[in-house]
Chains A and B, each alone.
Chain A
Amino acid sequence: MTDLEDTQPKPENKKDEPRVGVYVCHCGGNISDVVDVEKVVAEAAQLPGVAVSRTNMFMCSDPGQKMIQEDIQKGLVDNFVVAACTRSLHETTFASLLARNGVNPYLLEQANIREQCSWPHHGQEAATAKAFTLVRAAVAKARRLVPLNPVRVEATNCALVIGGGVAGLRAAGDLSKLGIKVVLVEREKELGGFVRRLDALYPDEEPATALLSRLVEAVRTDSGIVVHTNSEVTGIEGYIGNFTAQVRKNSDSKAGEIRIEAGTIIVATGFRSYQPAKKELGYQKLSRVVTLADFNELLVASAGDSAVLEFEGKPVRSVGFVHCVGSRQIEGVHKPGENGNINRYCSRVCCTATLHTACRLRRRFPDMEIHDFYQDIRTYGRGHEDYYEQASKSDVIFHRYRAESPPRVAKAPAADEYNLLITVEDSLTAGEEIEVGVDILVLAVGMMPADNATIIDNLKLASSSDGFLQEVHPKLRPVEMAVNGVLLAGACQAPKDITESCASASAAAIKAAAILRKGYVELDPYVVKVDLARCEGTGLCVEECPLDGALHMVGEGNERHVEVNPAICNGCGCCVAVCPTRALQVSGWTLDQYEAMVDAIVADPVEVSS
């Protein structure tokens, strides 16, 4: 079956057969302790198309790279096979080596003989045979590699920021300073988002109004930023560099639709608060059960210097706080919400927000009884723990409940001193059931993902299992979405406080500016390419393509053929599989290359001539 190996067509645009260089790495002993590297090199030298075959102790080291460089400078090699570790580790090392030496970096194929050979396999003979087979398959592909160039797309110098909370405001301000035009769209009449409902903010006690007026002022007075409040994004299409959004203006005076063209989009749609289920902890059944945000507003509304807090016309003598309402839910204990899911995650912000409020309450009302019902205290951020310490030292009484048995809330009997009766199994007193009287019970409700259905559907964005928008990688690409050109800022990504929201907003702004400042973007070349000579214009591919606008038919009669928009195509290959004439191929990953690799894998062993 040896002769099979070369039945596959090779690239036609090269006059001569490319000469392949094979570079096999020892990786210290990581590879060569198991694989007989010298044997692999000798066998590789016999393969059709191979011009040089060499080995080095550490291919990624300077001497290893130099070896390849010398072959390039001597003009011995056109296409390259590095047989070493897995691609993700050193692809950039070797690709940049080629680029630095004037070789197209896509003329590189790697054989993974470490992670997928010397490490999992032990017998030398079998591992060596496999390593050679992997090299042979890589050579088969390398012979069919052609130079590729990144797809270049012109980019509109404008970023669309959706959402005008702290994150959207921060991102808009930063972008404009970097010389990027911004259009900010906010659904509500006013900018500021959830922070508009807050008073003094942790960790530095700055009043929310002060923070917001600084951010809003900066945006409103900046001529590079256009703000549309009372406006909603109703549709988005396009791709990095060239998005178009439909925005509906809802204000009475200026109702109507507008179109916004933008090169990048920053999603800063924030969160919505968990709405407790009917009767959950007495909510909506008992008027004295309120959310933390409601309670904050009550504190602001009550006159600053009065010695008593009043609610429903009566003095408040005892207040209880419950943590984790609508967060850290457990299957079987908590009822799923409208979306059919429970919220397993921790909302992160509510522990500190609750203790911060408890401390403020204590400062204003030194004699008030304050109870805190918690599962765990997660005051994780800088300065957050101080609130816990302050609360503990100022007679806030802590009761620890378990998720399986949350506190029970009832209206207190008329004869009782307080309005509500809370019963809780307190694990701080060995699980003893205790009763606590309060006048107001404050629920620290969690943060839930905003309703992003339009944006998600239109842009085909990914969300994580908890419903928040999901970045490509939490550490390596923390503010980018998988859809090129779409970035994340603030609490639409996960529960975050203001510090964290602004940090991600600034990061997203920098990323967006990096994309737009050049005036064009360069995308991976791994997209579909049409061979016009083969396209018979059936249009089957257009039907199969999952992405709107990636493929479309042009021309009439015999001239009818498909055209690709390389900025939209993601290279999924669905169209390739249905084309009856193989007119379509994903650049860098063609069917011919795959088939040649398979043929190399099934080919008989080579005889090494001495």
Chain B
Amino acid sequence: MSETNLKAPPKILILATSSCGYTGADATGQAHLSYPPNTYIIDVPSPCVFPENFYYRCLERGIDGIIVMSCGVECPFEGAYERLAAKLDRVSLGLKKRGIKQGRLKLCSVCTVCTKAFLKEVNEMNDLLIKEQEESS
């Protein structure tokens, strides 16, 4: 992380599946429910596309926390969710090895109308990262 990022609010990258997480984020906005603006949502048909090093790269470049909002077992892509979950487990171990807090990467399921789940995940990640910033400064 660069020095400027330490003072700025943490940057949270949200990889949200088109059929679930992304629509859940839209539903949250449609309900005018508020959440921190330091969140950047990228629409992803299937997050299985990302190799492990994609996650490390994001964190190296300056993303502070990553939430993968998938469809869970309802994933419309046959067999993809199981692979995604296994992959993120491996990345999580990799983070530990690199001395990075594992909580900075999170996999969760958010459905198209899950506004509460969306808010909970975003707020938890934001709180965690702010706490970490405070501890390290």
For residue B83, which residues in chain A have a CB less than 8 angstroms away from its CB? 544, 546, 574
A147 to chain B, nearest CB (A): 19
B62: which A residues are within 8 A, CB to CB?
1, 602
Q: Which of B36-54 contact A (CB under 8 A)?
A: 37-38, 40-46, 48-52, 54
Tell me which residues from 88 to 127 in chain B have a Cβ below 8 Å from any Cβ of chain A.
none
Alpha-carbon distance between A604 and B7 when the two chains are bound, in angstroms: 13
* CB proximity to A under 8 Å, residues B14-63: 23, 25-26, 28-30, 32-35, 37-38, 40-46, 48-52, 54, 57-58, 61-63
Count the B residues whose beta carbon is within 8 Å of the partner chain — how many?
A: 41
B79 touches A571 (CB 8 A): no
Interface pair B54/A130, CB less than 8 Å apart: no
**Could you tell me if B54 and A482 are in contact, using CB atoms closer than 8 angstroms?**
no
B11 & A602 in contact (Cβ 8 Å cutoff): yes
Given A117-B37, A602-B62, does the pair A595, B46 have CB atoms closer than 8 Å? no
Q: Contact flags (1/0) for B53-80 with A, using CB distance below 8 Å?
A: 0100110011100000000000011111
Indicate whether A591 reaches chain B with its CB closer than 8 angstroms: yes
Measured between beta carbons, the chain A residues less than 8 angstroms from B136 are none
A253 interface contact, C-beta 8 A: no
Spot the interface stretch: A41-49, A120-128, A280-288.
Answer: A120-128
* Interface magnitude class on chain A: 35 or more
Does the CB pair A589–B44 fall under 8 Å?
yes
Give Cα distance in the complex from A127 to B38, angstroms: 9
Are A127's CB and B63's CB within 8 A?
A: no
Residues of B within 8 A of A114 (CB): 29
Of A87, A119, A482, A577, the residue contacting B49 (CB under 8 A) is: A577
**Contact in complex: B80, A574 (CB < 8 Å):** yes
A112: contacting residue among B41, B57, B80, CB under 8 A: B41
A509 to B127 Cα, complex, angstroms? 54
Q: Which residues of chain B come closer than 8 Å to A578, judged between CB atoms?
A: 51
Please name all residues of chain B whose beta carbon is closer than 8 Å to the beta carbon of A591 when the two chains form the complex: 49-51, 54
Selected contact of A604 from candidates B4, B26, B51, B57, CB within 8 Å? B4
Q: Are B45 and A122 in contact (CB under 8 A)?
A: no
B46 touches A572 (CB 8 A): yes
Q: Evaluate contact between B80 and A116: CB separation under 8 angstroms.
A: no
Known contacts A1-B2, A120-B35, A578-B51; 10 further A-B pairs (Cβ under 8 A):
A88-B26, A116-B29, A121-B35, A546-B79, A572-B46, A572-B77, A576-B49, A577-B51, A598-B58, A602-B61
Which residues of A line the B interface, CB within 8 A? 1, 4, 86-88, 112, 114-117, 119-123, 126-127, 129-130, 133-134, 137, 460, 462, 482, 526, 544, 546-547, 570-574, 576-578, 586, 589, 591, 594-595, 597-599, 601-602, 604
The 10 closest A-B pairs by CB, nearest first: A573-B49, A546-B79, A602-B62, A115-B29, A572-B77, A119-B29, A115-B26, A126-B37, A121-B37, A577-B51
